[in-house]
Amino acid sequence: MRAYYSDTIYDFLQSDSNAILGQLTQKHSHALEELQKNAWLKQITILQDQLNLFKNGHLFFEFSIPRMGKRVDNILIINDLVFVLEFKVGDTNYQKHAIEQVVDYALDLKNFHEGSHKAKLIPILISTQAPAKENIVSRYQDNLFTPLFANESNLSEIISLCLEFSSNHLIEPNDWASSIYKPTPTIIEAAQALYRGHNVQEISRSDSGTINLSKTTDCINEIIESSKTSNKKSICFVTGVPGAGKTLAGLNIANERMKADLDEHAVFLSGNGPLVAVLREALVRYEVSNNKNLTKKQAAIKANAFIQNIHHFRDDNLISKKAPIEKVVVFDEAQRAWTKGQASSFMKRKKGIDDFDMSEPEFLIDVMNRHEDWCTIICLIGGGQEINTGEAGLQEWTEALRNHFSDWKIYYSSLITENTNYISNEISKMWLNENGNEMHDLHLSVSVRSFRSEKLSDFMHNLLELNGDEAKKLYSEIKNDYPLFITRDFNRAKQWLIEKSRGSERFGLVASSGAKRLRPYGIDVKNEIAVEYWFLNDKDDVRSSYFFEDIATEFDIQGLEIDWACMVWGENFYFDENRWNHQSFKGTKFQNINSETDRNYLKNSYRVLLTRARQGMVIYIPEGDGIDHTRNKKYYDGTYQYLKHIGIEELD
């Protein structure tokens, strides 16, 4: 049962408050504080007083909201109305964070709880000591109502107002409560939930996406256990479509292995600096907010041990020649590890090491190879997501194994040898086929990022690959579930984001780091942002995404996501004469990008930007300027016409 307490309103009104409290206490698995006990007693008193007018209906206490790892105080079902009640006992006003909280609970049910998809959901914040507030009952197109406000003496009056919107249709409360819940947490929410002891099944969907995640987790755990018992060193290559949960799978494995055996010292490593900064900060804030005796510095020590920057791991092991303490390491976005040339150049320039002659994959395997008994490396690979100079892709990992570590056991996703996105060299592919173990369960095939449309990544892939007919077909399939528009009006685009978001849903601007001539439009991609503030701070903070002042580039947002995005299409990658044109701005003019590798980096950066919004997106394409040669209209008009030709509708 998802709730601590469930009963009809009639039986609830007849029950003794201490008996109800006893049921709540029995279901509460954590240490019960006096504050919580008193809050429940106050809720029971208020509800027994205020629900006297309503004999038909059902009441739930502490109803689970899995994606957020929390519980809503009460769910009240009357006819076809689902009231989401959040109590703030003793509060004398209606605080902003509390309003967002109750709206977020209602949104969570609307988006992820099957029984609530078509239900009328009414969030009510009950600040018990606050003055009465005038309420206007209104709802959005999806039957979610705007938040209402009550105190301890006027809740019945507000419920009566809402009953005017009720129809003869009756919701069966127990069927509603037990209906399928399919949450898709953000990676930040997932990291926090895993950190506090939930597993991937509890916080993720109960459909094919979670089945896929669970199978991958089980497969990797079996490989680790096999390596451990046979004293072998092993490496796994996990692939997945964009948004399939590779990072979630990696965090889950690191977390599970830490619990399975503390001596393994599992760690999650990422070369994605923004991802590491945001996840660490999110974990630290969560720990501090839930443990008043913990300082931020103390919380950071634990978080920093769980999630580390791969470059710091590398630098530590340059100094020491001993085997690292970790036996299980997860390398997120392993395709971004550096080639031999890039690594050698960096070591010479930044570390003063003149004779470094290994690629980053070779060095990282070499570090783990120092273990005398066993170890396991898990590489999370995103095909077609290399976005920076010197990023090696998967091929460098296979070359290192082939030339230097042939005694390692290799396990790889079945997609790797079937798809040129991963390894283009036929010799490397053939060697992997002959020397590795192909595992179907090491591929995550279902996108869980966009809960509105799992076909979004396929659509964006076909759009970028100029597969117009397939892109048209996919757009027609996703447009009703995933709002996606184009516009030439920047202010309208920003207004649309504000209008679409509800509760604490996050929105912001994203653009290519190479789109330097967006600056005249007030979009400065060269301005470095503080990613932890952009992703985590609230609507009052000018450094947050909500203010539209800081722009996240592909380097800031890769591996992360927001709910609603305005993606600004720059002049560095534009459609003209039936093809994509690639250019970079140097000094006062543009230069064509001729290197095929660099062209792919640029296209991949747009692939990243176009798949970061969970709920919907507007693409802003500037009009250009007839006088300014750096903002030639052809840099924008062709792209606009191409997107329109595919069928993407213009924002009203």
| CA–CA dist 540, 558 (Å, integer) | 25
* Residue closest to 23 by CA, chosen among 55, 50, 1, 47: 1
| CA–CA dist 20, 54 (Å, integer) | 19
Q: So what's the pLDDT on residue 208? A: 45
Q: So what's the pLDDT on residue 579? A: 96
SS3 state at 135 = coil
Judge whether residue 374 has pLDDT over 90. yes
Q: Which residue has tokens 């809720």? A: 43
User: Which residue type, as a one-letter code, is found at position 416?
Assistant: I
Q: Are 508 and 562 in contact (CB under 8 A)?
A: yes
- 75-131 pLDDT, tens digit per residue, is 999 999 999 999 999 999 999 999 999 999 999 999 888 899 889 999 999 999 999
Strand partners, 390: none
* Residue closest to 239 by CA, chosen among 385, 406, 121: 385
| CA–CA dist 206, 182 (Å, integer) | 6
Strand partners, 83: 76, 122
* Rg of the Cα atoms in the chain: 27
Least confident of 129-133, 164-168, 288-292, 638-642: 288-292
| CA–CA dist 221, 471 (Å, integer) | 38
Judge whether residue 388 has pLDDT over 90. no
- Angle, helix 296-306 to helix 246-260, in steps of 10 degrees: 100
Q: For 404-428, what is the mean pLDDT?
A: 86
Q: Are 217 and 200 in contact (CB under 8 A)?
A: yes
- 332-347 pLDDT, tens digit per residue, is 888 888 888 888 898 9
Q: What element of type H or E holds 430?
A: helix 426-435
pLDDT band at 50 (very low <50, low <70, confident <90, very high): very high
Judge whether residue 211 has pLDDT over 60. no
* CB-side neighbour CA atoms (13 Å) of 206: 11
* CATH label, 187-444, candidates 1.20.930, 3.30.1890, 3.30.1180, 3.40.50: 3.40.50
| CA–CA dist 289, 270 (Å, integer) | 26
Q: Which residue has tokens 């990658």? A: 573
Q: Provide the token pair at 168.
A: 């003869």
Beta strands in 97-152 (DSSP E): 120-127, 148-150
* Residue closest to 443 by CA, chosen among 405, 415, 479, 471: 415
pLDDT band at 255 (very low <50, low <70, confident <90, very high): confident
pLDDT band at 54 (very low <50, low <70, confident <90, very high): very high
Q: For 377-406, what is the mean pLDDT?
A: 79
- 509-567 pLDDT, tens digit per residue, is 999 999 999 999 999 999 999 999 999 999 999 999 999 999 999 999 988 889 999 99
DSSP state of 552: B
Measured CA distances, 73 to 99, 471, 595 (Å): 14, 45, 58
SS3 state at 52 = coil
| CA–CA dist 400, 144 (Å, integer) | 54
Q: So what's the pLDDT on residue 469? A: 96
Q: How many CB atoms lie within 10 A of CB 109?
A: 25
Q: Provide the token pair at 610.
A: 């176009």
Q: Provide the token pair at 119.
A: 């239900």
Q: Rounded to 5 degrees, what are φ and ψ at 26?
A: -65, -40
Judge whether residue 209 has pLDDT over 60. no
pLDDT band at 251 (very low <50, low <70, confident <90, very high): confident
Judge whether residue 166 has pLDDT over 60. yes
The model's pTM = 0.82
pLDDT band at 459 (very low <50, low <70, confident <90, very high): very high
Q: So what's the pLDDT on residue 243? A: 65
pLDDT band at 489 (very low <50, low <70, confident <90, very high): very high
Q: Provide the token pair at 312.
A: 């710091």
Among residues of the chain, what percentage have pLDDT more than 70?
92
Q: Are 390 and 396 in contact (CB under 8 A)?
A: no
Show Cβ contacts of residue 478 under 8 Å, excluding neighbours closer than 6 positions: 452, 453, 455, 456, 459, 484
Q: For 455-472, what is the mean pLDDT?
A: 93
User: Which residue type, as a one-letter code, is found at position 18?
Assistant: N
| CA–CA dist 442, 581 (Å, integer) | 36
Q: How many CB atoms lie within 10 A of CB 25?
A: 14
What's the sign of the alpha-carbon dihedral 27, 30, 33, 36?
negative
| CA–CA dist 538, 545 (Å, integer) | 9
pLDDT band at 453 (very low <50, low <70, confident <90, very high): low
| CA–CA dist 406, 401 (Å, integer) | 6
CATH code 3.40.50 region(s) in the chain: 187-444
Beta strands in 317-434 (DSSP E): 328-332, 375-381, 409-413
Q: So what's the pLDDT on residue 206? A: 45
DSSP state of 626: S
CA angle 591, 592, 594 (to 5 degrees): 135
* Residue closest to 148 by CA, chosen among 121, 118, 115: 121
CA angle 80, 84, 89 (to 5 degrees): 145
Judge whether residue 590 has pLDDT over 60. yes
Q: For 41-45, what is the mean pLDDT?
A: 96
Q: Which residue has tokens 């534009």? A: 574
Q: So what's the pLDDT on residue 57? A: 94
pLDDT band at 14 (very low <50, low <70, confident <90, very high): very high
Q: Which residue has tokens 């991937």? A: 200
Q: So what's the pLDDT on residue 323? A: 94
Strand partners, 376: 234, 328
What's the sign of the alpha-carbon dihedral 547, 551, 555, 558?
positive
Q: Provide the token pair at 553.
A: 């580039």
Measured CA distances, 58 to 137, 152, 154, 336 (Å): 22, 20, 19, 53
Q: What element of type H or E holds 367?
A: helix 360-368
| CA–CA dist 117, 144 (Å, integer) | 10
Q: What is the mean pLDDT of the chain?
A: 89
Q: Provide the token pair at 267.
A: 């760690």
Using DSSP, how many helices (H) and how many strands (E) does the chain show? Answer: 24, 22
